[in-house]
Amino acid sequence: MNVVVCVKQIPDPAAPPSLDPGTHNLIRAGKLILDDSDAYGVEMALQLVDKAGEGEVTLVSMTPNGETSGLRTALAMGAAKAILISDDSLAGTDALGTAKVLAAAIKRAEPDLILAATESTDGYTGTTPVQIAEILGLPSVTFAKKVEIDGGSLKVERQTEAGYDEVESPLPALVTVTAGVVEPRYPSFKGIMAAKSKPVETLTIADLGIDAGQVGAIGARQEITDVSASEERASGEIVVDEGDAHQRVIQFLEQLKVL
Amino acid sequence: MSIDKIWVLAEVADGKPITASLELISHAKSLAGTVEAVAYGEGTSAIAGTLGEYGATTVHDVGDLGGSLPGAPVASAIAAAIEAGNGPDAILFPATYDGRDIAGRLSAKIDRPVLTNVVGLVAGDGGLTTQHAIFGGAQIATARFVGDGPGLFVIRAKSFPAETSGGGPAEVVAAAATESGPTDGAKIVASHVEERTGPKLDEASVVVSGGRGLGEKENYALIEELASLLKGAAGASRAIVDAGWVPYSHQVGQTGKTVKPTVYMACGISGATQHLVGMKNSKNIVAINKDQDAPIFSVADLGIVGDVHKVLPKLIEALKARG
């Protein structure tokens, strides 16, 4: 059971985000870490391979600047190796361009299953995984809250607006997982040490036969023309509770005729 | 790109088009001469009247999917309809689980980019311009496509009002059948509907939501009780949904529901940007949090700096005493 997990290395979400004033691209300088949303996919993959008794987890990721520290975190959790596509021309790539690059790399790994988060924490476009599935000609199941492999086929509980659906699919397939799907392990010290020497194959887009015109800002075929502050809500009233604040809430609701 | 024709994905739930799709049809009518819907499933003829009332003149019927997840087959059908000629200048999708799947797969199929998280859409010279709430809604980015259409747009619920324009029923036209291929492999074998009492979360005029500040799963009962006393719906932050305290259907935020109630009460919720995106446009916001620096206070009309374990029970008791 070979599983590929698509992972993204993002600026630390705790730090205030900012846009490049010229291009309006998200600034991705400074330390990049493994997107928290991807820890669930990595953990799910490790558990599925473990259950199958054979196979391995390969990470696939894209970066404009050769960064690998987020990958090492996922390798420390137990993934076997990584494929990193690193190329200057990737700066400003949109979701579809990203999907084309990742799909080309994933194809080389020939996995039985591809996992990804439902969306990244920094870009949250949310379409890249199904775009990858379409490019590779594979079925996809998104928003999985439970994933099992049973007799060579995929069984997923997929969230819906009304509750959840039980979905089945043949393999190979692509699944996006929600945060509740598993509890990600913390890498052990042994895992962190081992991660340092696990293979990270670095490729350029030329290695994948992809033209620079398909990626980057040009390939994106979209642009941000303006960024401005949204209308701020007027500041509200603050009440420090000293035992009676609930009365103020009741008064507030009465004024609104909710009560 | 001038805008002559817009298609809107009309998703159906409980035999009716979802409100988000009706919002998109009404808005599309203000932007383009011709608005057509795309629908799938068995009930297209039954919804043609409603689609027409809101402004669609035609509905392309993809038909029964035979249990398949909609993403791949509906994307194929739309791609084939575009190929057949008379395709649209733009296609609008509601930001639902299936809407996102269909838009993403179509994007790859016809090699056109897709803009998501759209909250505003206007026509100008050169085509449609979108607005996106970024950084938790603190800023608005304006964007547009560069190059050939059709433009694909995934739009958040409640971005536009749903307004009827008195049109007659939309004409139902069968979308050309497409060959089912390997991408169509995912099938629904069973559907589970969660029990719900009270109003729907995204339609309620009062929403009471709980977050990690509640401390433990059992304390969510306070949220449910307060919601019930106020005849509202109970919501949740992503943190407690991920922790398994409540089902995903309660989640408000970036990947949960967008709500715009008359009153939104955020209890023990810090106000992370991905939560704010789902509730920041509520008419009135009350927040209860023991951390005076919690970001939720920056959007609250009434902020109570206090412990939810103390404030909520007193609030509930006082409401009950009123009878």
For B154-209, the pLDDT digits (tens) are: 999 999 999 999 999 999 999 987 877 899 999 999 999 988 788 999 899 999 99
Q: Minimal CA–CA distance to A115: which of A44, A20, A217?
A: A44
Total Cβ atoms within 10 A of residue A251: 12
**Residue B53 and residue B154 in one domain:** yes
* pLDDT, tens digit, 9 for 90 and up, residues B68-116: 999 999 999 999 999 988 899 999 999 999 999 999 999 999 999 999 9
Residue A187 lies in a domain: yes
Q: What is the pLDDT of residue B221?
A: 97
Q: How many independent structural domains does chain B possess?
A: 2
Contact yes or no for A258 and B262 at CB 8 A: yes
| Residue B82 to residue B313: CA distance in whole angstroms | 58
C-beta separation of B35 from B6 below 8 A: yes
Residue B197's identity, in one-letter code, is T
C-beta separation of B256 from B241 below 8 A: yes
User: Residue B1 pLDDT > 60, yes or no?
Assistant: no
**Residue B32 and residue B139 in one domain:** yes
* pLDDT, tens digit, 9 for 90 and up, residues B38-76: 999 998 999 999 999 999 999 999 999 999 999 999 999
Q: Minimal CA–CA distance to B74: which of B191, B175, B187?
A: B175
| 3-state SS, residue A104 | helix
Residue A92 lies in a domain: yes
CATH number, domain containing residue B312 = 3.40.50.1220
As beta bridge partners, residue B277 has none
Phi, psi of B154 (to 5 degrees): -105, 120
Residue A247 lies in a domain: no
**Residue B107 and residue B247 in one domain:** no
| Residue B199 to residue B232: CA distance in whole angstroms | 6
CATH number, domain containing residue A213 = 3.40.50.620
Q: Minimal CA–CA distance to A221: which of A130, A129, A94, A113?
A: A94
Contact yes or no for B100 and A221 at CB 8 A: no
* pLDDT, tens digit, 9 for 90 and up, residues A53-78: 999 999 999 998 899 999 999 999 99
**Residue B20 and residue B72 in one domain:** yes
- Give the helix/strand (H/E) hosting A202: strand A200-203
User: Residue A42 pLDDT > 70, yes or no?
Assistant: yes
* pLDDT, tens digit, 9 for 90 and up, residues A26-36: 777 778 899 98
| Residue B37 to residue B271: CA distance in whole angstroms | 37
- A11-15, A184-188, B203-207 — which is least confidently predicted? A11-15
Sequence-separated contacts (24+) of B33-37 with Cβ below 8 Å = B33/B3, B33/B4, B33/B5, B34/B4, B34/B5, B34/B6, B35/B5, B35/B6, B35/B7, B35/B8, B36/B5, B36/B6, B36/B7, B36/B8, B36/B60, B36/B88, B36/B170, B37/B7, B37/B8, B37/B9, B37/B10, B37/B170
| Count of alpha carbons within 13 angstroms of residue B62, beta-carbon side | 28
Range of the domain at B145: 5-184
Residue B200 lies in a domain: no
Residue B201 lies in a domain: no
What DSSP character marks residue B15?
T
Contact residues, A window 138-177, toward B, CB-based 8 Å cutoff = 138-143, 145, 158-170, 173
**Residue B131 and residue B270 in one domain:** no
Residue B140 lies in a domain: yes
Residue B190 C-alpha from the chain's centroid: 23
Residue B190 lies in a domain: no
Which of A113-127, A136-150, A176-190 is modeled with the greatest confidence? A136-150
Residue A87 lies in a domain: yes
Contact yes or no for B97 and A170 at CB 8 A: no
The whole-number average pLDDT for the span B1-23 is: 92
User: Residue A157 pLDDT > 80, yes or no?
Assistant: yes
User: Residue A11 pLDDT > 50, yes or no?
Assistant: yes
| 3-state SS, residue A174 | strand
User: Residue B245 pLDDT > 70, yes or no?
Assistant: yes
Residue A185 lies in a domain: yes
**Residue B164 and residue B226 in one domain:** no
Chain A residues with CB under 8 Å of B288 CB are 245, 249
User: Residue B136 pLDDT > 80, yes or no?
Assistant: no
Q: What is the pLDDT of residue B244?
A: 84
Chain B residues with CB under 8 Å of A249 CB are 286, 288, 302, 304, 311, 315
Question: How does residue B24 score in pLDDT terms, banded at 50, 70 and 90?
Answer: very high
- Å between B170 CA and nearest CA of chain A: 26
Residue A47 lies in a domain: yes
**Residue B157 and residue B260 in one domain:** no
* pLDDT, tens digit, 9 for 90 and up, residues B249-302: 899 998 789 999 999 999 999 998 889 989 998 999 999 999 999 999 999 999
The whole-number average pLDDT for the span B24-44 is: 96
Final residue of a structural domain among B132, B150, B184: B184
Give the nearest partner residue to B142 out of A145, A179, A225, using CB atoms.
Answer: A225
As beta bridge partners, residue B173 has B60
Say which residues have a Cβ less than 8 Å from residue B265's Cβ, sequence separation at least 6.
B206, B207, B208, B209, B226, B285, B286, B287, B288
Residue A188 lies in a domain: yes
pTM: 0.92
Range of the domain at A200: 3-220
Contact yes or no for B302 and A252 at CB 8 A: yes
**Residue B49 and residue B163 in one domain:** yes
The whole-number average pLDDT for the span A219-234 is: 89
**Residue B171 and residue B256 in one domain:** no
**Residue B262 and residue B125 in one domain:** no
Residue B182 C-alpha from the chain's centroid: 29
- Å between A23 CA and nearest CA of chain B: 12
Q: What is the pLDDT of residue A64?
A: 86
| Residue A101 to residue A87: CA distance in whole angstroms | 11
Q: What is the pLDDT of residue B2?
A: 65
Does the N-terminal peptide bond of residue A172 adopt cis geometry, omega within 30 degrees of 0?
A: yes
- Å between A193 CA and nearest CA of chain B: 30
Confirm whether the ipTM is greater than 0.90: yes
Residue with the two structure tokens 């070979």? A2
- Give the helix/strand (H/E) hosting A177: strand A173-177
CATH number, domain containing residue B23 = 3.40.50.620
- A20-29, B131-140, B308-317 — which is least confidently predicted? A20-29
Say which residues have a Cβ less than 8 Å from residue B143's Cβ, sequence separation at least 6.
A222, A223, A224, A225, B115, B129, B130, B131, B132
* pLDDT, tens digit, 9 for 90 and up, residues A90-104: 999 999 999 999 999
User: Residue A19 pLDDT > 90, yes or no?
Assistant: no
Q: Minimal CA–CA distance to B306: which of A248, A258, A255?
A: A248
Give the nearest partner residue to B135 out of A17, A241, A243, using CB atoms.
Answer: A17
**Residue B180 and residue B220 in one domain:** no
As beta bridge partners, residue A169 has A154
| Residue B278 to residue B274: CA distance in whole angstroms | 7
What DSSP character marks residue A175?
E
Residue A254 lies in a domain: no
Residue B197 lies in a domain: no
Q: Minimal CA–CA distance to A94: which of A115, A123, A121, A119?
A: A123
**Residue B34 and residue B156 in one domain:** yes
User: Residue A13 pLDDT > 80, yes or no?
Assistant: no
DSSP string for residues in B43-101? -HHHHHHHHHHHT-SEEEE----TTB-SHHHHHHHHHHHHHTS---SEEEEESSHHHHH
Q: What percent of chain A has pLDDT over 90?
A: 79
Across chain B, what does the average pLDDT equal? Answer: 93
The whole-number average pLDDT for the span A214-227 is: 93
| Count of alpha carbons within 13 angstroms of residue B56, beta-carbon side | 32
Q: Is B161 near chain A, with CB under 8 Å?
A: no
| Residue B58 to residue B117: CA distance in whole angstroms | 26
Contact residues, B window 193-252, toward A, CB-based 8 Å cutoff = 193-194, 205-206, 230, 238, 241-244, 247-249
Q: What is the pLDDT of residue B196?
A: 79
Q: What is the pLDDT of residue A247?
A: 96
